[in-house]
Amino acid sequence: MTARADHLHFDLTTLPQAARYKLVTGIVVPRPIAWVSTLDAAGHVNLAPYSFFNIMGSDPPVVAFAPGDRAPGIPKDTARNIPSGGDFTVNLVSRDLAETMNATATDFPAELGEPEHVGIALEPGVTVATPRVQGSPAALECREVQTVRIGNTRIILGEVLGVSIRADAVLDAGKQYVDTAALDLIGRMGGRGGYATTRDAFTIDRLTYAQWQERDGGEDSR
Q: Is 67 in the site for ligand FMN (CB under 6 A)?
A: yes
Q: How far apart are CA 62 and CA 67, in angstroms?
A: 16
Q: Is 66 in the site for ligand FMN (CB under 6 A)?
A: yes
The residue range among 55-63, 100-108, 176-184, 210-218 that interacts with ligand FMN, by the rule CB under 6 A, is: 100-108
Q: Is 197 in the site for ligand FMN (CB under 6 A)?
A: no
- Residue from 76, 132, 136, 183 binding ligand FMN (CB under 6 A): 76
- Residue from 32, 39, 77, 86 binding ligand FMN (CB under 6 A): 77
Q: How far apart are CA 73 and CA 80, in angstroms?
A: 11
The residue range among 101-109, 117-125, 133-141, 162-170 that interacts with ligand FMN, by the rule CB under 6 A, is: 101-109
Nearer to ligand FMN, 15 or 118 (CB): 118
Nearer to ligand FMN, 105 or 207 (CB): 105
Q: Is 103 in the site for ligand FMN (CB under 6 A)?
A: no
Q: Is 78 in the site for ligand FMN (CB under 6 A)?
A: yes
Q: Which pairs count as long-range contacts for 127-130, CB under 8 Å and 24+ apart, including other chains?
A: 127/161, 127/162, 128/87, 128/88, 128/89, 128/161, 128/162, 129/39, 129/87, 130/37, 130/38, 130/39, 130/45, 130/87, 130/88, 130/89
Nearer to ligand FMN, 27 or 210 (CB): 27
3-state SS class at 218: coil
Q: Is 89 in the site for ligand FMN (CB under 6 A)?
A: no
Q: How far apart are CA 73 and CA 67, in angstroms?
A: 12
For the chain, what is the radius of gyration of the CA atoms? 20
In the window 174-193, what residues touch ligand FMN (CB under 6 A)? 188
Q: Is 105 in the site for ligand FMN (CB under 6 A)?
A: yes
Q: How far apart are CA 141 and CA 164, in angstroms?
A: 8
3-state SS class at 209: helix
Nearer to ligand FMN, 67 or 137 (CB): 67
In the window 2-61, what residues touch ligand FMN (CB under 6 A)? 33, 46, 48-52
Which residues, 6+ apart, have CB-to-CB distance to 27 below 8 Å?
190
DSSP for 92-151 reads --BGGGHHHHHHTTS---TTS-HHHHHT--EE--SSSSS-EETT-SEEEEEEEEEEEEET
Question: How many residues in the shown chain lie near ligand FMN by CB under 6 A?
Answer: 17
- Distance in Å, CB of 114 to ligand FMN, minimum: 6
Residues that bind ligand FMN (CB under 6 A): 33, 46, 48-52, 66-68, 76-78, 102, 105, 107, 188
